[in-house]
Structure 1
């Protein structure tokens, strides 16, 4: 039965579904990007320009045989602009008489300071007091924030969001295999990858990180730029990330990045997500057919327009929330009223999420409108028998040996 489910999933999820869904993930944050970055244009605009110059105009410049500007465009530009923002802060560019950046805007009593609170919060490099309060070493532990709280209506929404993340992962797995000239994964390998994402999300919940675990689509772009897809390099990078997460002062340095600077970087990364999502259409040999154009266009437009309608009904209290929380605020006060409070919250919340609406529309249209396999761009999956007989492919797709001894049997490595 599990085998049939894997085959069914591989038939239903196509590039025509993945493309608008992933693109909607990036586009859904457009209201947070430059509206936040625009609060401090003297920082955000140079940051955006610097990233574009490094990635587009200086991408061919080699230093000691490495395309330095293309590979390190984001960290290099952030360090340069952060230094510039630090000197602006230290020079008093954001000092206002009688106003303190340490006081929350909701507690400011002087009207003149309220006008400058937004600027100080988004532009200064010393808004966070994390450097003074963060410990040098802090070891996180399970349930450090208390026992998890379960809400049925919220969990249903997150199930759909996780489904969208899984669609993103399916496209990323297949694209990554093409980039590194590997035989496409089998449905079993894709299922195993998504299952591990779910397992890591459980661990994240136990440790109280506040975010789940999923495939980072931008890593496909990283592989394409660096030409590095070595497993040991990824493992070594993971070790460094775990080590630095234990040092509180590293987090304090990241907290000193002005919000306007962070938003300007996200303008680039989310735009990259949109581009990578739409690039999935290349796997359809007839991407420009009227059928595919209509499905992608309708699902993407309605995926942005329908949530915009539901988000109009957000409660007044959500005005103080960041814009990326607006869909969740709209869930409790949406236009749909069935008389069942839990159902109202579920439907209003679901239809307030751009990527979910886009996925549902694209999924229904793609699997109901007739089209050939070439037109639909059906993913080509490998057979477990082919991979199990090829030692090199078995090594590429297998779990690390020590981990596999604990989680699986040897004969399941390649499926």
Structure 2
């Protein structure tokens, strides 16, 4: 305020009315107990409304000669500093619309809330009253100039001069004020009627559709997180979600099991087990975890350490039951890592760890997950370019050039790019095999290459194995009905060195998951989860990883990063649809032939799909930099150096190959350095752990990014610090956190655990 208007009572009352304080009690010095006590929040809007109902317009503000009479008509409730804003008045996208009132100028004002400014339409211009020119000045001063002019006119009347001109001005000001009050009342009644008609029309539409609109409708989404469009659409959306990420669910066993010495039947069994565990853990996560619509499954984060353990020196020379020995070792290591993850989540330690995790740390860490397998992708696909190149080109064609083509309201080429491409090229490979394209005289693909004496056959045997569609025996040997059960491979074995490796990897998986929580919440139009919800989600992922270790999937169960791409492309965020899809996944896991079908995919075909999947993971990881100042030299150096060093340091350790390289294929040699790396101390177990961890790209990326981002100075805006919701903050609408709450029948058992609540 200027010096001429310092502490003007009318301006202070105007400010109090906009901010929600009772000006009468504040300025009069009276102590009103009812005003000082925290007011209970209004009841939540009914479930039949797709969006929170609009607040009714405030009553017309009466302005008379006596300023003390204005406060009695102030409709704004007091701002409760403990409870925060009332539900429905939070951030614009989640908690309803800001409170509206009609001022004396006849203009619709939307008071800005918590640092946001709203445009004020000039209704005078629309009425032809010539109010467009004066609207800007009145919006800037909120009507204070008019009140001051009226007061000055009154003082001129009562002043010493008392001339006729001053009295005439006062009469004109009073007449003008009454005219504007009448227009104000008319507009208030008009807008109240319009809002009531809109709400009535929405209610009729929902009733005609026979559906109950949820409280948290999500604009831009085909199905919101709590919406229930009907059983048929829900089943369709659920199957659609899992089909779009099918590659992530079944391709990890396709790489890991043959490396462990497993047969085609073992591969089919592990895939069925993976489907069962993914279905169970997804249902658990949507009820007890973060409650976001995210699929749980075997993450590629666990693939590299699994390959390191499988290629250890102690397992390379096994000839009998090699697969079961390695699987039991992996089970024990995964169980150790899961216990650490449970402790990290349910003790609240994750809330402390969140202070160190920012997008600058997450971006190179997730990107390193995909970049780690560049030596496997095209080298395996290139052995059969006649089917691998068409598949890669077809996937790119669907996802890039045909992504906007819609059939029956669905962008099928974008959503189903991978399964459609695999089906088409697999059929093409079948015709090539049936036509004799891979028949070589005197050669059989079923004979191990080490036993083939003819050089001509030895040269073609790998091509036959990776290209032919009839090589796999999974379909022939798999049972029609087989229920996966706990410890189906035998009791797990525990060793310190492998347990420490999986413990560190579980930390990497937690970082991957919390970034998915944050990004998914924005995709489904919710507030970011609170630190308690994140801790609860990580703790439950520890439990789901424990389940994966007990059943023997070979990997932990964590949130799949590819979920973000699926949510963005399908626009489907219904938890119920995800739960139905997970239930179907559990049922499918009981039929062994379903697991045998993906186990029969030719290796070159699977490697081609993984080229796209791993590239997608890299892109999703780097996309988190949008939360930071990506052009900052600080961030560019940290991310660039982390990515380079996460490839270079493992390359240094991986050059220490085993003494005999004939026992391992070339693409597995980098994962054999744990037993023959450059670190040599008195403890063989410590040597194994250090050599193994520093040969895993994602571990190196996390350690380097954590160190640099938390030691190099930078502002919060530059670093892009993750902003997690605080339920005690005045800016957070409690209604936007409601979808994260545990079901009432379950939450009563967890009220003691404050660190995992909202």
**TM interval, short-chain normalised:** over 0.9
Q: Which residue of 2 aligns with 1:233?
A: 577
| CA distance 1:211–1:399, change in 2 (3 Å) | farther
SS of the residue corresponding to residue 94 of structure 1 reads coil
- What is the CA distance between 1:8 and its match in structure 2? 2.5
- Measured after TM superposition, the shift of residue 105 of structure 1 is 2.3
CA 1:322–1:271 in structure 2 vs 1: closer, same or farther (change >3 Å)?
farther
* Alpha-carbon distance change, 308 to 162 in structure 1, aligned in 2, over 3 angstroms: same
Number of equivalences: 412
Structure 1 residue 66, shift from structure 2 partner: 1.1
* Corresponding residue to 1:335 among 673, 678, 684: 678
Separation of aligned partners in 1, 2:589 and 2:559:
20
| Closer/same/farther in 2, CA of residues 236 and 389 from structure 1, 3 Å limit | same
Distance 1:272 1:98, change over 3 A: same
| Correspondence for 1:246 | 590
Whether the 8 Å contact between 2:438 and 2:468 is mirrored in structure 1 is yes
| 1:91 paired residue among 435, 456, 459 | 435
Say whether the 8 Å CA contact 1:318–1:329 is kept in structure 2: no
Q: For 2:656 and 2:454, locate their aligned partners in 1 and report how far apart those are by CA, in whole Å.
A: 31
User: What is the distance in 1 between the residues matched to 2:399 and 2:659?
Assistant: 41
Q: Distance in 2 between matches of 1:81 and 1:406?
A: 52
Counterpart among 594, 608, 614 of residue 264 in structure 1: 608
- CA–CA distance in structure 1, aligned partners of residues 484 and 371 of structure 2: 34
Whether the 8 Å CA contact 2:351–2:532 is kept in 1: the answer is: no
Whole-angstrom distance in 2 between the partners of 1:161 and 1:127: 35
Say whether residues 1:352 and 2:695 are aligned partners. yes
Residue 362 of structure 1: aligned partner: 705
- 1:325 and 1:196 map into 2 onto residues whose CA distance is 33
Residue 298 of structure 1 is matched in structure 2 by 641
Aligned-partner Cα distance in 1 for 2:736–2:359: 27
SS in structure 2 of the partner of residue 31 of structure 1 = coil
Match of 1:14 among 333, 353, 358: 358
Alignment pair present for 1:200 and 2:547: no
Cα shift readout 1:150-171 (whole Å, capped 9, x = no counterpart): 1110111111111111111111
Q: 2:415 aligned with 1:74, yes or no?
A: no
TM-score (ref. length: structure 2): 0.52
Q: Note if 1:188 corresponds to 2:514.
A: no
Q: 1:24 and 2:329 equivalent?
A: no
Report the Cα offset of residue 273 of structure 1: 0.4
Deviations 1:148-202 (A, max 9, x none): 0111101111111111111111111111111111101111111111111111111
Q: Distance in 2 between the 1:301 and 1:267 partners?
A: 20
Range with bigger deviation, 305-314 or 237-246: 237-246
Gaps in structure 2 of 5+ consecutive residues: 1-343
8 Å contact kept, 1:327–1:353? no
SS of equivalent to 1:139: coil
Greater per-residue helix proportion = 1
| Greater Cα offset, 15-24 or 195-204 | 195-204
- How far apart, in 2, do the equivalents of 1:189 and 1:332 lie? 40
Task: Confirm or deny: 8 A CA contact 1:29 1:324 kept in the other structure.
Answer: no
Greater length-normalized contact order (CA 8 Å, ≥ 6 residues apart): 1
CA contact (8 A) 2:351 2:535 kept: no
Secondary structure, aligned partner of 2:376? helix
| Partner residue of 2:656 out of 313, 325, 329 | 313
Distance (whole Å) between structure 1 residues aligned to residue 546 and residue 666 of structure 2: 27
Q: State the 1:316 CA deviation.
A: 4.3
- After superposition, the Cα gap between the structure-2 partners of 1:248 and 1:5, relative to the gap in structure 1 and judged at 3 Å, is closer
SS in 1 for 2:555: coil
Q: What CA distance in whole angstroms lies between the structure 2 residues aligned with 1:321 and 1:159? A: 27
Q: Cα deviation per residue 1:302-335 (whole Å; 9 max; x = unaligned)?
A: 0001101100112145665466754541101001
CA deviation map 1:265-287 (0-9, x unaligned): 00001000000000000011x22
1:408 maps onto 2:738 in alignment:
no
- Using a 3 Å threshold, how does the CA distance of structure 1 residues 25 and 323 change in structure 2: closer, same or farther? farther
Cα distance in 2 between the residues matched to 1:181 and 1:363:
29
Q: Which moved more, 1:363-372 or 1:243-252?
A: 243-252
Establish whether residue 166 from structure 1 lines up as the match of residue 510 from structure 2.
yes
Where 2:425 maps in the other structure, the secondary structure is: helix
Alignment-derived partner of residue 397 in structure 1: 740
What's the offset of the Cα at 1:107? 3.2
Query: Which has the higher mean CA deviation after the structures are superposed, 161-170 or 296-305?
Result: 161-170
Residue of structure 2 in register with 1:126 after alignment:
470
Query: Of residues 406, 427, 450 in structure 2, which corresponds to 1:106?
Result: 450
- 1:384–1:414 contact (8 Å) kept in structure 2: no
Q: Cα RMSD between the aligned structures? A: 2.2
Residues 1:289 and 2:626 aligned together: no
CA contact (8 A) 2:653 2:677 kept: yes
Corresponding residue of 2:565 = 221
Equivalent residue of 2:724, what SS?
coil
Q: How does 1:378-397 map to 2 (within 5 A)?
A: 378-385=721-728, 390-391=734-735, 393-394=737-738, 396-397=739-740
Task: Give 1:273's match in structure 2, choosing from 617, 635, 644.
Answer: 617
The alpha carbon displacement at 1:111 in A equals 2.7
- Alpha carbons of 1:79 and 1:168: their partners in 2 closer, same or farther (altered >3 Å)? same
Shift of 1:254: 0.8
Q: Shift in Å at residue 378 of structure 1?
A: 0.5
Cα gap change, 1:372/1:206 in structure 2, threshold over 3 Å: closer, same or farther?
Answer: same
| Counterpart for residue 36 of structure 1 | 380
State the SS of the aligned residue for 1:30. coil
CA distance in 1, matches of 2:547, 2:441: 47
Unaligned runs of 5+ in 1: none
Q: 2 CA distance for matches of 1:133 and 1:39?
A: 27
Q: Distance in 2 between matches of 1:34 and 1:104?
A: 23
Counterpart position of 1:59: 403
